[in-house]
Amino acid sequence: METAALEYPSTMVTTPTGEATVPAPLRRYRPRLARASEIKGLRHLPELTVVWTKELDALLSHRTFLRMLAERLTATPAPSKIVFLFQTKRRKADQRETAQKLVELFGYFNRPFDLEVAQGIHAGEDAFNEAVAKIVATRQLSSEKSERADHLSELKKVIAATDDLRAKSGKLSADSVASVFGLSVAELAALVGRTRQTASKTPDADSLQPLLQPFERVARVRAVLSPNDFRKWLYLANDELDGRTPLEVIRQGKVALVADLVEDMLTGSPS
């Protein structure tokens, strides 16, 4: 718990217009800055996205930006949260109107529980802390859930088959995972919604573990396949994947789908 809580989420600051600047309370998270035009090209959003803009009305006028942001959030695995930070605090007399406009804003998104709103920089600090706490708690819950449901992870042959994916720390390493799958670290990082720098700097970071775990589940098939056969299998068209190869599906960001297939292979689940 302590380690997870200390590890800051990957963070990005953006604004619908012009250059983004980093609000002071966010500096400790070392966020990356992204122009509005860059959002569309992102495969996933980071764990924490901060939209830093003057006020709510101005934001609502940028419909294309909001639609793109909503699409990217939909494509991003949890945990991922967006904090809308407004520089200007609205007057109390406007509260009813504000509530209506927030409904309009949230209406763009199909994950409204992953949105936070803060007006004024001081409120922003509280919102960041709350979002970070929720992200860390979600990471922990998802890791406990996968441990509960993961019977195969206890099998010696499966453990041996995936041992080379781990660093000396015992944690999954982005370097090793990339190598086993024949991907570059940059490509693997993009697939899990991280930058190459993040994945290279600490390849076995706690924050990468839930993202690398589906790759480990795929690599378990090496308990019954030789290294050569594993590579061959990755490149073989698979009728259960609509004729696509496992590697194609992984490159489309659907590694969990291939991981489920591997579990069915090992457990012989009829199709």
Interacting residues toward another protein by CB under 8 A: 149-152, 154-158, 223-226, 229, 232-233, 236, 239-242, 249, 254, 257, 260-261, 263-271
Q: In the bound complex, what is the minimum distance in angstroms from residue 228's beta carbon to another protein?
A: 8
Nearest residue (CB) to another protein, 58 versus 224: 224
Q: In the bound complex, what is the minimum distance in angstroms from residue 53's beta carbon to another protein?
A: 33
Nearest residue (CB) to another protein, 162 versus 207: 162
Cα–Cα distance, 119 to 90 (Å, whole number): 7
- What are phi and psi for residue 65, nearest 5 degrees? -60, -45
Amino acid at 106: F
Residue in 148, 21, 138 with CA at minimum distance from that of residue 87: 21
Answer yes or no: are the C-beta atoms of 23 and 124 closer than 8 Å.
yes
First to last CA, the chain: 39
Nearest residue (CB) to another protein, 136 versus 261: 261
Q: In the bound complex, what is the minimum distance in angstroms from residue 139's beta carbon to another protein?
A: 20
Nearest residue (CB) to another protein, 27 versus 156: 156
Cα–Cα distance, 198 to 129 (Å, whole number): 22
Q: In the bound complex, what is the minimum distance in angstroms from residue 267's beta carbon to another protein?
A: 5
